[in-house]
């Protein structure tokens, strides 16, 4: 089982493992209607959220983290290792999916971009994955900009590929990056 890539500083943002004290502020952010507008899972059950957050440090595939600035919890980053697609014999654990939720009170300060860069660095440099993907609703311009600033390329525009509780079927974007692309950008 790989060791944790945290803690890691990305500028003023500290990425670290979740703690009990993070549960209340992150649950409040995660259940904020402004945040949930852009989430597939539009709310989280408090006991399930608590359990999932506190299980992260023991997981062999979940390397999610909490983002802190000046001692304040401001975001959560998701990093999940998975198997890619392929025929029998394909190496396992070669891909990762990333995502993030930033407290709207701290939006527009570069926190999302720092979290995305930190997640990519952890995936490629520490966990040794070959490929990382991320997705967002097409009308979530802020999230698309975060992924593009982190160096990811848009690989897919899925037409009406996601159900939105208020809007019906909406378009989504899928972004990707390969390890050799990461290395070329960070030489």
| Distance from C-alpha of 120 to C-alpha of 97, rounded to nearest angstrom | 10
25-83, pLDDT tens digit by residue?
Answer: 998 888 887 877 777 676 778 899 899 999 999 999 999 999 999 999 999 999 999 99
- Domain spanning 8-132 has what CATH number? 3.40.630.30
The answer to whether the beta carbons of residues 130 and 117 sit under 8 Å apart is no
* Distance in angstroms (rounded) separating the CA atoms of residues 12 and 54: 24
Whether residue 2 is predicted with pLDDT greater than 80 in this model: the reply is: no
Domain ranges of the chain: 8-132
Residue showing tokens 């720092």: 114
Instruction: Band the pLDDT of 136: cuts 50, 70, 90.
Output: very high
Secondary structure of residue 2 in the 3-state scheme? coil
Q: pLDDT above 90 covers what percent of the chain?
A: 75
The pLDDT value recorded for residue 86 is 82
- Supply the pLDDT for residue 90: 84
Is residue 84 classed as helix, strand or coil in its secondary structure? Answer: coil
User: Given the DSSP bridges, would you call strands 131-137 and 168-178 parallel, antiparallel or unpaired?
Assistant: antiparallel
Name the H helices within 43-103. 46-55
pLDDT at 177 over 80: yes
How confident is the prediction for the chain on average, in pLDDT? 92
Q: What DSSP assignment string belongs to 4-45?
A: P--SEEETTEEEE---GGGHHHHHHHHT-HHHHTT-SS----
Closest to 122 in 3D by CA, of 164, 84, 177: 177
Answer whether residue 1 shows pLDDT above 60: no
The reported pLDDT for the residue numbered 167 is 86
Average pLDDT, integer, range 137-146: 94
Section 150-179 average pLDDT: 94
Q: Where are the alpha helices (DSSP H) in the chain?
A: 23-30, 33-36, 46-55, 111-121, 141-149, 179-185
């Amino acid at each position: 089982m790989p060791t944790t890539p945290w803690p890691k500083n990305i500028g003023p943002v500290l990425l670290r493992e979740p703690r009990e004290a993070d549960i209340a502020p992150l649950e409040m952010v995660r259940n904020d209607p402004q945040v949930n507008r852009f989430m597939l899972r539009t709310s989280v059950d408090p006991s399930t959220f608590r359990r999932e957050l506190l299980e992260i440090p023991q997981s062999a595939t979940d390397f999610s983290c909490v983002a802190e600035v000046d001692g304040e919890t401001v975001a959560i980053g998701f990093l999940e290792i998975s198997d890619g697609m392929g025929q029998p014999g394909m190496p396992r654990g070669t891909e990762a999916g990333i995502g993030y939720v930033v407290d709207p009170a701290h939006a527009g300060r570069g926190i999302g971009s720092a979290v995305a860069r930190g997640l990519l660095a952890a995936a490629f440099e520490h966990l040794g994955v070959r490929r990382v993907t991320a997705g967002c609703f097409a009308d979530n311009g802020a999230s698309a900009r975060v992924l593009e600033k982190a160096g990811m390329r848009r690989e897919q525009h899925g037409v009406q590929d996601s159900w939105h509780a208020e809007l019906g079927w909406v378009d989504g974007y899928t972004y990707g990056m390969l390890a050799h692309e990461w290395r070329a950008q960070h030489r």
